[in-house]
Structure 1
Amino acid sequence: MPEMNFSSFLPEFEGGYDSSAKEKVWRAQSAEFREFWVTRVMGTDSDPISDEDCDKVIKILDSNGKGNNKHTEAIARAMVSQGAWRRLFNELHKNKKLGSAVNKILTEQDPKLKAQYIDDLYGMEEAQKIYLTGKSGNTISAFIAAFDPFVDLSIISLKDRKLLLEYLNSPYVKEIDAETIGSKIVHSNAALTEAIKASGVIGDARKISNYCYYAPVRELWRGEFSSPQEPSGNNEAKEFVVTVATDDTDEQLDESGVRDSIKIQGLLAKIGEQMGFDIWLPNPDRARVAKVWQPRDPRTLLTTLPLSYDKATQSTIGLIDVIWIKNKRSIARAFEVEHTTSIYSGILRMADLVALQPDIKIKMHIVAPLDRQEKFSTEIRRPVFSYMTNGRLSDMCTFISYDDVRHIAELEYLHHTRDGILESFEVSAEQPEE
């Protein structure tokens, strides 16, 4: 069998890629994004931007966005929750200084100045609080690509750009680590476009980005495992029971001596209580969580699990950080609060539960700082979690950031809100890249 090179799959890819139709779609969607940006985000009014208006544009920016499916077109999977996107747009609209900083990036044509403006944005503390900045550059790169999808790559992750540059032997890969974030984003776009076209893949930025994420091409450069898309053909049960690892990372305490993870546990308990659920906390955590949350009705915090599982399953469930119990007899949602760098122990605990009870149907969430999100996505797609008896763990367990939990806890009328609101704040590791 001949050795595959980067352009080997081009004829196959182009057989299903209608360049003319795609160009028409992206001219319309880029125009829609620009109009939203000018009239709503940069508008002089003080009215909040509605969720409905935000969602129309989020759908363009993020394939994980509400309303997207395999037949719709979005820039990329940005790993930002729906709720975070909405807050981001409203903050850019309200905070004129911040909005203007992003506007300068989008409208600047000079590469050197654009890089400088991105660096300036990354230096703004208010930008760091709303998912606008991050080491992979996903959010600002999604904005840039939507503003001009034919020039700026839809490969928004700097991690993916570097992997591609290495695979294509671009000389720029030797320089990228020494550059500022702004220079990385701007220069990698130009260098990667040049390297892809030099490999024989010709077209606008949108086309070559799609080609890079075409499944057989992605396997060439990404160099990582891939989760199975369908269950295996045989019915032989595969048993995966894994033990929860510990992590040596010490979590910092705040001035009051309470860890962030304990605060988040308390907030999750408070949110669940306000939504009408009973709450389960592991016995070792109760005294610590009591410093930040006390139930209004002591009966809300259950002393025993009202579940009819075997002893091994009960023991595993009993160690999950926060559980919302519905009608005192069934699990509505389970949360593992994961502060460690590895983020592995929380995923392992959820895997234990699913391995012990393959038919269990509950909604599971890993809750961690935002900078752990990419690590979550990588770890939960490992083969050990992908070939489980009843499917992929990544289809059952999603990520919610600390920031989003804090935001949910501050929502008005939370006691009239259903738990489905979490779907606007969770991020799945298994959404398609393109």
Structure 2
Amino acid sequence: MSKARVIVLSVVHQGLTKAEAARRYGVSWQGVHTLVTRYQHGGLDAVDPRSRRPEHNPRAAPEQIRTRIVELRTELTAAGLDAGPLTLASHLRAEGLHAPSTSTIRRILTAAGLIIAEPKKRPRSSLHRFAADQPNECWQSDFTHWPLADGTDTEILNWLDDHSRLLLSITAHHRVTGHDVINTFADTINTHGPPASTLTDNGSVYTSRFTGGRNGFEYLLATLGITQKNGHPNHPQTQGKIERFFHQTLKKWLTHQPRAANLAALQAQLDTFAQIYNEHRRHRALNDITPAAAYAATPKAFPRQQTPRPHFRIRLDHVDTGGKISLRRAGRMHHLGVGFRHRSAPVLILIDAAEVTVTHRTTGEILSKHTINPDRAYWRNNQREPGRWPGSQQ
């Protein structure tokens, strides 16, 4: 029995005065009087301690906001997207609604049974976040596995800008090869310009430094003056951004989609994801803006000893059986004389405003350089002395 009930019963049934009860139980006379009055109006249950919580909290989140928080959490989770308090607050602001504090949002989600208690995590303040200062200062790349509906394994190759987290390229392959890395990298450069550096693991599609020599990707980077950085073996934290992207963002979203029947269907899903990720998903590490907005907000970095070059683009091709390459520029077809002895060679073609450079894709050797002349259909190799066509002896 509670002390309050004992005090009341000593007055009501034992005949103690209120002053005597106050002295015996070490309370004030006013306190005894209050308890007896409650008893007279509501019985023993009325004398138990009452909550001091106010009946109304003017700072509590309105019911409309509480309902929308629960709806957003459900919608985003079902779509396989982030749905934490920070993300929900961002969505509320985007809808023109007042966003409560993240602690309030967390309490609302907990009350709705939408948050499962987890062990205490490492405090965010203890983490050291490293990010490039400019877009195109560093591109990260990696690939991961994903099964089709029939269980066939595929590999998804990504290029991610370190500064803005912009998903520069995402492509599906039966198996990622060195040619896929070069092709997607070249396509990405044609869209976004060349980066100052790349950061990857030590997979053979990225580097041959542990097996001797250079692979095609390394020759391409050297040709363009791009710094190549590789993480330490067995230390994926170096590529932390793209590791988190794969395992916590991309795969979470794909898990909530219908399993793709073939590679083309998977690529269509990846294209949809890229638009959502770049254009609509606000990132807490980017001051609550999208990767696309962060990428566009800052001047771009360029490879060392390079300045922005107008009309810069890259193309992959093979020298034809006559030792030439065909190149369309400004709506007109031109022919580049590379050399008969290089026929059928896989090449990288680097094109800027004034010159075209043709490099062997496997060895990195510069095969030819050509001055751009819009008025001529044939551009000769400037690395060779002009003269008669020597035929098969070239």
Coarse TM-score class (shorter-chain normalised): under 0.3
- Provide the TM-score with structure 2 as the length reference: 0.25
- Provide the TM-score with structure 1 as the length reference: 0.24
Question: Whose relative contact order is higher, 1 or 2, with alpha carbons under 8 Å and at least 6 apart?
Answer: 1
Greater per-residue helix proportion = 1
Greater per-residue strand proportion = 2
Which protein is bigger by CA-based radius of gyration?
2
